[in-house]
Amino acid sequence: MHTYHAILRDILENGSRQANRTGIDTISIPGACAKYDLALGFPAVTTKKLAWKAVVGELVGFLRGYDNAARFRELDCKIWDQNANENSQWLANPNRKGPDDLGRIYGVQWRQWRNADGWHTDQVMTALRTLHERPTDRRIIINAWRPDEFDQMALPPCHVLWQFIANVERRELSLCMYQRSVDSFLGLPFNVASASLLLSIFARLTGFTPRHFTHFMADTHLYVTHLEQAKEMLSREPRPLPRLVINDRIPFGAGDAFDPSWIDRIEPQDFTLEAYDPHPTIKAPMAV
């Protein structure tokens, strides 16, 4: 977590004040990069408590293609409630279907990318099958950026593109993610854990060991309402990283054991953090 702390310090020391759509200014830097080696432990923040159940619930919801905050709540994830029901722009959008509707957000794009001919592309299944059949392919990408469908989303995606890179000789799988906008106090630890979990799931289902998660960040910022909380985090000493434990019922999909349909059968309780001993929670308001 020293890497994460370095980003917070960079923002506090070198950032510029910026206005944005939420009406709450940020202190922002234009670009940051971080690399996490999952061989050293799972990168769950330790200088405050990570909302692990929400991380897992949201990712499972994405992988199921959910478009409704109520479905996410069923998975112990409430972080989409405000965007679904309190975002004034979305509430006034004629494409909103009613309470809890989120529209064509991340998971919908992952699993049902609409093509011009009316057919859907399942990017998740395509990526899994490509990793199994052609693991050195440099086009194993999942994309969520759909400018033509922004008017059908509660919120355009902040994390935009995921690319899987396999080392066949070492049987290791890595992930690079590009994120256009980064809420560095509330969102960034959540994003790192979510992407690292996604990498771990894909590695498990395709018979690889998860290795590096590299995070490319564009507008990397702290909201002015989070500055004191960030300073409190920086005053705390990071603790040892936990270990991700995946339920044995999910197969290690090497060779003939490859079964991509497991992506639709995973449950939040299949993933636990072992030896996770964080500092206490630090609360901060969410900017919507």
Position 120 in a domain = yes
Residue 184's domain comprises 2-274
CATH value at residue 187: 3.30.572.10
Position 91 in a domain = yes
Tell me what pLDDT residue 288 has: 76
| pTM of the full structure | 0.96
Tell me what pLDDT residue 2 has: 86
Query: How much of the chain exceeds pLDDT 70, in percent?
Result: 100
Position 280 in a domain = no
Position 281 in a domain = no
Phi-psi group of 225: left, alpha or beta (phi > 0 → left; psi -120 to 50 → alpha; rest → beta): alpha
Residue 103 DSSP SS3: strand
Q: Is residue 117 scored above 90 in pLDDT?
A: no
Position 111 in a domain = yes
Tell me what pLDDT residue 282 has: 96
Number of helices (H), then strands (E), in the chain: 9, 10
User: Which residues are paired to 114 by β-bridges?
Assistant: 120
Position 242 in a domain = yes
Known catalytic residues? 158
pLDDT in tens, 49-89: 999 999 999 999 999 999 999 999 999 999 999 999 999 99
Position 288 in a domain = no
The total number of structural domains that make up the chain: 1
Q: Which residues lie closer than 8 Å to 128 by C-beta, 6 or more apart? A: 202, 205, 206, 260, 263
Query: DSSP assignment, residue 287?
Result: P
pLDDT in tens, 183-193: 999 999 999 99
Question: Counting every residue, how long is the chain?
Answer: 288
Position 32 in a domain = yes
Distance, CA of 186 to chain centre:
12
- Could you tell me the pLDDT band of residue 287, with boundaries at 50, 70 and 90? confident
From CA 81, how far away is CA 288, in angstroms rounded?
Answer: 11
From CA 49, how far away is CA 17, in angstroms rounded?
Answer: 28
Tell me what pLDDT residue 96 has: 98
pLDDT in tens, 126-172: 999 999 999 999 999 999 999 999 999 999 999 999 999 999 999 99
pLDDT in tens, 257-275: 999 999 999 999 999 999 9
Tell me what pLDDT residue 196 has: 98
